[in-house]
Amino acid sequence: MQRILLHMPLLIGAMLLAAHNARAEQTCIHRDAIIERLARQFGEHPHAVRWADDHTMVELFVAPDTGSWTITSTRPGNLTCLVSAGQAFEYKHEKFSVLSSLL
């Protein structure tokens, strides 16, 4: 159960990714450049990763000290696109009634 809660942001990110793919413009560069910039500029490091059915990798980067977070999607060939970003990332260790009813 706790593993599901810890990966909830990626599930939300996947939904955001699906909605975001409808937009024509995306910020996409090589994955190594994104990782370096997120670490240098925002102090964000990989927190969680999931693979989509189309072999797209969805990652959540988090800066625990500041709460800054970014969700990216990487396609085969290491082209990485920014999906969403924000502030005030929080770790929740409480049960969500919706999730517990699904189990």
The predicted pLDDT at position 63 comes to 94
- DSSP-assigned states of every residue in 69-91: EEEEEEETTTEEEEEEEES----
**pLDDT (tens digit per residue) in 11-32:** 566 555 555 555 556 789 999 9
Letter string b/e over residues 77-95, b meaning 16 or more CB atoms within 10 A of that residue's CB? eeebbbbeeeeebeeeeee
Mean residue pLDDT across the chain: 79
Q: Where are the domains of the chain?
A: 2-91
pTM of the full structure: 0.67
99 confidence band (pLDDT: 50, 70, 90):
low
CA-only gyration radius of the chain, Å: 14
Sheet holding 45-51, edge to edge: 28-30, 79-86, 68-75, 57-63, 45-51
50 confidence band (pLDDT: 50, 70, 90):
very high
